[in-house]
């Protein structure tokens, strides 16, 4: 007798790529969303990957790609088949916003990034004197990206601020 498999079991979970400058908190975010606790991380050389589930009905795979300067040219290789792009910024680091803007512009200019929805996470909102999401949006010049659906959200990997909303919003971006 043959084995009957449902289409759901054969379906590969959508891929989400999470990028941003080094020390923005990408790995801390990934592990907090996956494990529910804060893990002390080291700078990512290469990538981390985890499967996440939202409300027991939506699965996706998140690729957290290292953000050091030498790693950024490799970001484009993770875009093929990607359903959503998450760009993480350290909203307490005003001095690196120009660098973040340039990195975002470069990756969104890649042919493989065309049409991929963008989620910008203004991380580290639990720290004093951080930029608001409006300031981050202005600094990154997000209004210029009218060719794609994009959202920006405040969050904190350490304090868990906004992480459930982040997961729900990523799931909605994937479906749109």
Residues marked as catalytic: 68
From CA 29, how far away is CA 94, in angstroms rounded? 20
From CA 33, how far away is CA 37, in angstroms rounded? 8
Determine whether the annotation assigns residue 126 to a binding site: yes
Determine whether the annotation assigns residue 91 to a binding site: no
Beta bridge partners of 15: 61, 82
Determine whether the annotation assigns residue 110 to a binding site: no
Determine whether the annotation assigns residue 101 to a binding site: no
Contacts for 113 with CB less than 8 Å, ≥ 6 apart = 76, 79, 85, 107
Residue in the block written with tokens 């996470």: 121
Determine whether the annotation assigns residue 55 to a binding site: no
Determine whether the annotation assigns residue 15 to a binding site: no
From CA 40, how far away is CA 42, in angstroms rounded? 7
Determine whether the annotation assigns residue 124 to a binding site: yes
Determine whether the annotation assigns residue 21 to a binding site: yes
Give me 26's structure tokens.
């990408």
Question: What radius of gyration, in Å, describes the C-alpha atoms of the chain?
Answer: 16
Please say whether the beta carbons of 52 and 33 come within 8 A: yes
DSSP summary character for residue 132: P
Binding-site residues for Mg(2+), please?
27, 44
Indicate the annotated binding residues for GTP. 20-27, 67, 123-126
């Amino acid at each position: 007798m043959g084995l009957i498999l449902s289409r759901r079991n054969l379906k590969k979970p959508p891929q989400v790529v999470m990028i941003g400058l080094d020390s923005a908190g990408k790995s801390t975010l990934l592990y907090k969303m996956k494990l529910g606790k804060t893990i002390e991380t080291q700078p990512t050389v290469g990538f981390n990957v985890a499967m996440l589930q939202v409300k027991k009905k939506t699965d996706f795979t998140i690729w957290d790609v290292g953000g050091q300067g030498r790693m950024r040219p490799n970001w484009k290789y993770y875009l093929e088949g990607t359903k959503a792009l998450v760009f993480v910024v350290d909203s307490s680091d005003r001095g690196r916003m120009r660098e973040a803007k340039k990195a975002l512009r470069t990756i969104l200019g890649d042919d493989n990034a065309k049409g991929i929805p963008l989620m910008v996470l203004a991380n580290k909102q639990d720290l004093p004197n951080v930029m608001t999401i409006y300031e981050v949006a202005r600094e990154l010049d997000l209004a210029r990206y009218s060719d794609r659906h994009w959202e920006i959200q405040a969050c904190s990997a350490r304090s868990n601020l906004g992480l459930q909303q982040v997961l729900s919003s990523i799931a909605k971006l994937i479906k749109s």
